[in-house]
Every structure is written in C-alpha cells, then in structure tokens.
C-alpha cells in the first residue's frame, strides 16, 4: 500500500472513529457552504429579480416633445433605441368639461399598453380593463350618484360619452382623479396628438442612464428624463439588500470559524496520545500535520458538496417565495464554494496545528 493510500485510509478511519468531532466539523462547513451558496446565488440573481419586480411600478423614464407633439417617427425611433424588451406608451393630457360643468384631466393613450405598464394598479373588472376607457376610482365614486348611466365629456364643440361600465382603476395617487381614453377617441375629442411617451426601460439604473443619454443624443427635439422616485428606490433597495446578505453571511462565517477552531483544538487534545505514538514510531511533524490537515480538508470537501446542493435548493425557494420566480442554481459557484470551504478549514486548523507540533511523545506517553 503506497503512502498516499495509507494516509487516506488513516484520515477516513480517524473521522469515523471520532464521529462526534467529525460530525461537528462537517456540520460547521456545511453551514458555511450553505450560506455562501445562498448569498452568492441570490447576490448575482438579485438585480434581475428586483428589475422584474420594479416593472410593475410604472414608467421609469419620461420622453416629452419640447415643442408640439411626438410624431410617429419619433415613437418608432424611441422604440428602436430602447430595444424590444422596453415598454413605450404614448400619452397626451387635456382638461375637459364634464356633464356637471366641472373640469377633469383626461389622458389619451394605448389603454392595453398603459395597463401593462402600471401592473401594480388594481383594475376592476380586470378582464375588461383597457377596452373602452379607464376611469379613476375617485371619479367613479364621485360620479356614481349623479349619472350612473354614462359620463359625457366635452372639449370645445366636441363631446364623447363614456359608458358607465368602463373599467375602474385605483393607483393610490393623483391618477385616481383622471380618466384615460383610447388614443384614437382622445384625438377625436380634443384633436391633440400625443406629446409624451412613458417608458419602462429594462436594466439597472446605470443602464437606464445610458439609454437616456442615447435618446437625448438621437432625439434633440425630445426631452428625456428619468423618474427619480423609481430609479433611486431601485438603486437603494438593491444596494441595501446586497449589503444585508453579505453582512449576514460574514457574521455567520466568523462564528463558524470560531466553532471550527474550538472543535479542531478539542480533537487534538483528545488524540494527543495517538499523535504521540505516531511521533514515537518515527512519524515526522510534517507527516502528522499533513494527516491532521488532510482530515480537515476531507471533511470540508464533503461538507461543501452537501452545503452547495442544500444552499442551491434554499436559494431556489427564496426566489419562489419572495419574487414568484425561482432563482436557478449556478453550477459555476461549486468550485469557489469548495475551494473556499477547504481554505476556511485550513485556516481554522492553524492554531490546532501549532498545538500539535508541541506534543512531546516522551512526556505524553509517561502520562504527564
């Protein structure tokens, strides 16, 4: 039997005989590997998941014609620049007169696209939303007792009637005091083409800023600005969430290192007679150190493999529970987690190895 096979057999036998200590070290490394796998998997996938969540909060960029209105060519150019994944919804607002001679702000837009852009709003009924008109909840409440049959809007000499069964939306903002019409009906009523485009650009805030710069350079006649409330919150949430994940992982790793140092030190003290016999039979300090460090590396490799698969499952569950979409495992993280766990085990073995080198066979075997 060659030396490598003998050392491997001794390491496995030692781990099996000292099951309690080995199990403690194995569980410690497993916890580290699980935390590392979960935190890294969530860390790298967090941005895409948050971007997906923020899609329902409406536009993150506004493009407004500096003079006049947005032409069809302008809208086509905007769509080509921001890409197929972005949402571009033309809008125009006007103040019109109701049947009670009061005034109300009415918007004209593509109702289906506008509803998708503002997916966080509630629409009642949801299946009918966007077909005829979108009526704000405050307008619907204030008008229910005056004319439940229909709503008549007047702009100059033109009038339009909105059926009472039009969809009602609730946004929780000033939008609830407005009515949105289909763009063709709006232009028929007011004669005004769209002068604004609400954009939902995919990507992190830095990428959104780059797209805004491209739009501003390509369309000087259009003023393009980000919606700071959305982009700033997106940046803050992403940064704070990542910081919390990394801080929690760092705390756990430090605690586990302390636990492993105590476990490995206790293992040296329990087995000091065994190591003394090995030294008395001619084993060098390097051989004994290699055997002890090899045991730690073997346990750490096993714990890292188990922890990686368990951590990937936990990350998958976190994605389903919090974002409604699974965070897929990253096989590329297996090697870093494995190497990191082994290095952590070796670092935790530093103090026990110093204790191991000070073992004197003659003293230990005399029972002193």
Length of the chain: 368
Range of the domain at 308: 3-53+235-365
Query: Pick from 178, 199, 227: which residue ends a domain?
Result: 227
User: Mean of the pLDDT values across residues 300-321?
Assistant: 84
Distance CA 80, CA 195 (A): 18
Residues 242 and 269 in one domain: yes
> Nearest Cα to 12, choosing from 289, 301, 286, 298?
298
Mark whether 222 and 259 lie in a shared domain: no
- Same-domain status, 295 and 242: yes
**What does the pLDDT average to over 106-131?**
79
d(CA 268, CA 352): 7
Could you tell me if 15 and 22 are in contact, meaning their C-beta atoms sit under 8 angstroms apart? yes
pLDDT tops 50 at residue 215? yes
Peptide bond into 95 cis (omega under 30): no
> Which pLDDT score is estimated for 246?
75
Residue 344 has pLDDT above 70, yes or no: yes
3-state secondary structure of 28: helix
Boundary residue ending a domain (193, 227, 261): 227
- CA dihedral over 66, 67, 68, 70, signed as positive or negative: negative
How far apart, in whole angstroms, are the C-alpha atoms of residue 200 and residue 212?
Answer: 11
Which residue did the predictor score with more confidence, 323 or 85?
Answer: 85
**What angle, 0 to 180 degrees and rounded to 10, lies between the N-to-C axes of helices 3-17 and 19-54?**
90
How many structural domains does the chain have? 2
Residue 90: per-residue pLDDT = 92
pLDDT of residue 148: 46
**pTM for the structure as a whole:** 0.58
Which residue, among 23, 55, 43, has the nearest Cα to 243 in the 3D structure? 43
Written as six digits, the tokens of 280 are 């008395």
Give the model's confidence band at 147: pLDDT under 50 very low, under 70 low, under 90 confident, else very high.
Answer: very low
Model pLDDT, residue 58: 72
Quick one: 132 and 254 in the same domain?
A: no
Do 312 and 361 share a structural domain? Answer: yes
Q: Domain check: are 223 and 242 in the same one?
A: no
Residues 132 and 62 in one domain: yes
| 139 and 100, same domain (yes or no) | yes
Question: Is 214 in the same domain as 262?
Answer: no
Between 43-57, 151-165, 212-226, 284-298, the lowest mean confidence (pLDDT) is in: 43-57
Q: Which of 166-180, 224-238, 281-295 has the highest mean pLDDT?
A: 166-180
Instruction: Find, among 22, 1, 26, the residue nearest to 11 by Cα.
Output: 22
CA distance 43 to 327: 10
Q: Please check the confidence at residue 145 and state whether its pLDDT lies above 70.
A: no
Q: How far apart are CA 164 and CA 181, in angstroms?
A: 14
Residue with tokens 């009472």: 164
Same domain? 221 vs 263 = no
- Final residue before a domain boundary, out of 179, 210, 227: 227
User: Within this chain, do residues 111 and 126 fall inside the same structural domain, yes or no?
Assistant: yes
Mean per-residue pLDDT over the chain, rounded: 77
- Co-location of 194 and 285 in the same domain: no
């Amino acid at each position: 039997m060659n030396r490598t096979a003998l050392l491997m057999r001794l390491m496995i036998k030692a781990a099996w005989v000292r099951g309690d200590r080995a199990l403690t070290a194995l569980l410690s490394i497993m916890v580290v590997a699980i935390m590392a796998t979960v935190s890294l998997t969530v860390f790298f996938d967090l941005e895409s998941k948050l971007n997906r969540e923020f899609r329902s909060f409406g536009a993150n960029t506004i493009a407004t014609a500096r003079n006049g209105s947005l032409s069809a060519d302008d809208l086509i150019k905007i769509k080509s620049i921001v890409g197929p994944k972005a949402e571009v919804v033309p809008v125009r607002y006007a103040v019109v007169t109701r049947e009670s001679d009061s005034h109300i702000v009415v918007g004209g837009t593509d109702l289906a696209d506008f509803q998708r852009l503002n997916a966080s709003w509630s629409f009642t009924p949801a299946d009918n939303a966007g077909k005829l008109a979108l009526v704000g909840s405050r307008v619907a409440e204030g008008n229910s007792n005056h004319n439940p049959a229909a709503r008549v809007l007047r702009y100059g000499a033109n009038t339009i009637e909105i059926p009472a069964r039009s969809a009602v939306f609730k946004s929780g903002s000033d939008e609830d005091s407005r009515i949105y019409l289909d763009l063709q009906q709006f232009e028929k009523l007011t004669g005004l083409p769209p002068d604004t485009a609400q954009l939902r650009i995919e990507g992190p805030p830095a990428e959104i800023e780059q797209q805004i710069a491209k739009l501003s350079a390509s369309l000087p006649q259009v003023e393009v600005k980000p919606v700071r409330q959305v982009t700033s919150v997106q940046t803050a949430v992403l940064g704070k969430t990542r910081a919390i994940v990394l801080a929690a992982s760092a705390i756990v790793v430090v605690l586990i290192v302390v636990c492993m140092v105590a476990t490995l030190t206790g293992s040296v003290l329990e087995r000091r007679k065994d190591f003394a016999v090995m030294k008395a039979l001619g084993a060098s300090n390097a051989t004994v150190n290699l055997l002890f460090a090899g045991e730690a590396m073997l346990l750490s490799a096993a714990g890292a493999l188990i922890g990686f698969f368990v951590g990937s499952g936990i990350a998958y569950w976190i994605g389903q529970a919090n974002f409604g979409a699974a965070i897929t495992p990253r096989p590329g993280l297996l090697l870093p987690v494995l190497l990191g766990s082994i290095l952590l085990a070796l670092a935790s073995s530093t103090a026990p190895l110093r204790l191991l080198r000070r073992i004197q066979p003659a003293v230990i075997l005399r029972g002193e």
